[in-house]
């Protein structure tokens, strides 16, 4: 049964550790040098909603679930996109991966009267809820590094802007462009649009 907090939304890798870590970081820094990142903080984003894939950004460089790291990512994005509404969707299994003290803090946030965090029902993926929510919402950007390659996910991605984020140490670097599949009649047709241009044009 879907909880009441999700009805409005669905109705109308962990980093490597040990010897491989240096190679992983080298690849990340190479990627940073090749990918245009969004360098300007303070972009006015009033009227926009950013949906964060919580399970994507909840793990530190050792593969340990870290609630504080997830909050750091959220706060950094809030500084880039000022005035936006943020929602963080998490798989039901994520809370069990936090240490007990962090788990209690996470549960408190989920139960808040105006929650920032939304825990998906067991057996359901956060991916599905995020995409359905963004598709129904409009003026919405999904923040995730997932590929969403499954056919049912690609269908839900039609018209949904996706923003990828690089996390390198304490630095949170949003990509300079969003990507989306704009045309249901052309499966797989993908475009990239400058973040500020996309948001300035509205939807």
Segment 74-92 mean pLDDT: 95
> pTM for the full model?
0.79
pLDDT attached to residue 38: 62
The more confident residue out of 185 and 63 is: 63
Please state the φ and ψ torsions of residue 107, each to the nearest 5 degrees: -60, -40
Are 36 and 177 in contact by the 8 Å Cβ rule? The answer is yes
The helices-and-strands tally (H runs, E runs) of the chain is 7, 11
3-state helix, strand and coil shares in percent for the chain, rounded to the nearest 5: 40, 25, 35
Q: How does pLDDT run across 91-125, given as a tens digit for each residue? A: 999 999 999 999 999 999 999 878 899 999 888 88
The more confident residue out of 13 and 187 is: 187
Provide the pLDDT confidence category of residue 28 given band limits of 50, 70 and 90. Answer: very low
Q: How does pLDDT run across 123-140, given as a tens digit for each residue? A: 888 898 999 999 998 899
> What domains can you pick out in the chain, each with its CATH number?
41-201 (3.40.50.11980)
Are 144 and 162 in contact by the 8 Å Cβ rule? The answer is yes
Element (H, E) at 78: helix 67-80
Are 116 and 74 in contact by the 8 Å Cβ rule? The answer is yes
The more confident residue out of 22 and 40 is: 40
């Amino acid at each position: 049964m879907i909880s009441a907090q999700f009805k409005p939304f669905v109705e109308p890798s962990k980093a490597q550790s040990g010897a491989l870590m240096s190679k992983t970081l080298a690849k990340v820094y190479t990627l940073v040098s090749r990918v245009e990142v969004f360098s300007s903080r303070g972009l006015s984003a009033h009227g926009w909603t950013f949906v964060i894939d919580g399970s994507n950004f909840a793990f530190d460089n050792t593969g340990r679930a870290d609630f504080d790291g997830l909050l750091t990512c959220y706060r950094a994005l809030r500084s880039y996109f000022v005035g936006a509404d943020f929602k963080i969707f998490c798989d039901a299994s994520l809370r069990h991966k936090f240490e007990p003290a962090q788990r209690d803090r996470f549960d408190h946030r989920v139960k808040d009267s105006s929650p920032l965090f939304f825990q998906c029902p067991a057996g359901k993926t956060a991916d599905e809820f995020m995409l359905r929510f963004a598709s129904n919402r409009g003026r919405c950007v999904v923040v995730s590094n997932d590929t969403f390659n499954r056919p049912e996910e690609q269908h839900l991605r039609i018209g949904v802007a996706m923003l990828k984020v690089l996390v390198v140490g304490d630095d949170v670097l949003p990509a300079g462009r969003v990507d989306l599949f704009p045309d249901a009649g052309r499966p797989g047709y993908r475009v990239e649009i400058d973040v500020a241009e996309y948001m300035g044009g509205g939807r």
